[in-house]
Amino acid sequence: MESASTFIDEKIKQLGDWRGKTLAKVRDIIHQADPEIVEEQKWAKATSPGVPVWSHGGIVCTGETYKNVVKLTFANGAALKDPSGLFNSSLDGNVRRAIDIHEGETIDEPALKDLIRAAVALNLKGKSKPKRAASKRAG
């Protein structure tokens, strides 16, 4: 089984067009926003090689590619503040929110980094129940 990073590398290479370049750019922004993010490959089955997923304390977002769009779906996007208005898809769901990036569109890197960091913070907030009093202190 190939690593998730290798899977994403291959996906970018196989796309070979603006979608591959966009997925590579988004991937780079995600890693800049959170150097501890983990790349995963989820939902692979006989009819699909799976989906690139970035996680830290839980799923942050997925990176799906379609004919006319690269879609970043944030697992808990509905709970995130989006002052820059990046979310432009899946807006009526109760949990997820997505960003559809079309060919030729510019990515607002600072706003996307803020969303990534907010998603990670939300994931970690749910996991940060200290076991002992000393673990509350930031070091």
Domains of the chain: 4-136 (3.90.1150.200)
pLDDT of residue 1: 52
- The predicted model scores a pTM of 0.87
**Integer CA distances (angstroms), 6 to 28, 29, 102, in order:** 15, 18, 25
Listing DSSP states for 13-44 in one string gives HHH-SHHHHHHHHHHHHHHHH-TT-EEEEES-
pLDDT reading at 133 higher than 80 = no
Q: What is the pLDDT of residues 29-83, one digit of tens each?
A: 999 999 999 999 999 888 888 899 999 999 999 999 999 999 999 999 999 999 9
